[in-house]
Copies of this chain bind each other. A is one copy, B any other.
Amino acid sequence: MSLAGLFPIDKWNFKSQSILNNLPEDEYGYLCSNMLEHRYNKGEVIFREGAVASGIFFIKKGKVKKYQVDRTGSEQIIYVANSGELIGYHAILAEERYPDSAATLEDCTIAFISKEDFLSALEKSTVLPRRLLKTLSHEFAVLINSISIVTQRSVKERLAITLIVLREKFKEGITAGGEIMINVSRSDLANMVGTGEENIARFLTEFKLSGIISTHGRKICITDVKKLIGISGCGT
């Protein structure tokens, strides 16, 4: 079941932004030779909001949540980055500290590129600046969309949207016809939607009774995407 034509895909960062993909051979090689690969366990923090930015991270395997922590200690998850994506570069380019924190949602393999190597690659490259400008501008549009959603839509609608987006993130690597399982904790889900765990549980129960989703332990499977799009209020 494809979302094309049913849901405004462009407004969401569904697909990994391929900043490093198909770079000229030598530029890609230069970056690769300066990468420091590291394995992270589920739940490990990659960098923290407010820390001096030491470099950027390339997610080779796994999913990463980007979030901010508020006064009360609760998280607001802004984005879920998938394998193939680059994170942490905003801080380097803005010459500021990391604006958000990043932590793994599952076991990950992540490569580190130091600030110096990244900036040096940027300077040498013929395509990297233009590609970063494009990606950043697209991310800007996605964030604007998120702000509108969060102010103008109910918790139920936001949960529906979040599930639709997450389904795409968890699609990767599934064989055709296989069930897509969304595997995030209720707490993370609540922090993506911007509400409490209790509300999430309540609405998930409602969705389950309406035959829109099924749960298998903690995992969620969307069985009726069209109905969920209807609830989301984003249908096109």
- Which of A35-43, A125-133, A163-171, A201-209 is the contact stretch? A125-133
A144 to B150, alpha carbons, bound, how many Å?
Answer: 12
User: What residues of chain B lie closer than 8 Å to A140, measured between beta carbons?
Assistant: 90, 94, 99, 136, 139-140, 143
Cβ contact within 8 Å between A143 and B137: no
Cβ contact within 8 Å between B68 and A141: no
Contact among B90, B95, B139, B150 with A147 in the assembled complex (CB-CB below 8 Å) = B150
Cβ contact within 8 Å between B70 and A148: yes
A90 to B133, alpha carbons, bound, how many Å?
Answer: 9
Cβ contact within 8 Å between A146 and B148: no
Number of interface residues of A (CB under 8 A): 39
Cβ contact within 8 Å between B68 and A148: yes
Asked whether A144 and B100 contact (CB < 8 A) given A133-B129, A134-B94, the answer is yes
Main secondary structure of the interface of A (DSSP, over half): helix
Name the residue among A10, A92, A93, A146 with the largest chain B CB count within 10 angstroms: A93
Q: How far is the CB of A235 from chain B (nearest CB, A)?
A: 10
User: What residues of chain B lie closer than 8 Å to A93, measured between beta carbons?
Assistant: 133-134, 136-137
User: What residues of chain B lie closer than 8 Å to A152, measured between beta carbons?
Assistant: 70, 74, 76, 194
A93 to B141, alpha carbons, bound, how many Å?
Answer: 11
Q: How far is the CB of A34 from chain B (nearest CB, A)?
A: 20
Asked whether A144 and B94 contact (CB < 8 A) given A129-B129, A136-B133, A152-B194, the answer is no
Not counting A71-B233, A129-B130, a sample of 5 additional A-B residue pairs whose C-beta atoms are within 8 angstroms of each other reads A76-B152, A94-B138, A94-B141, A129-B133, A136-B137
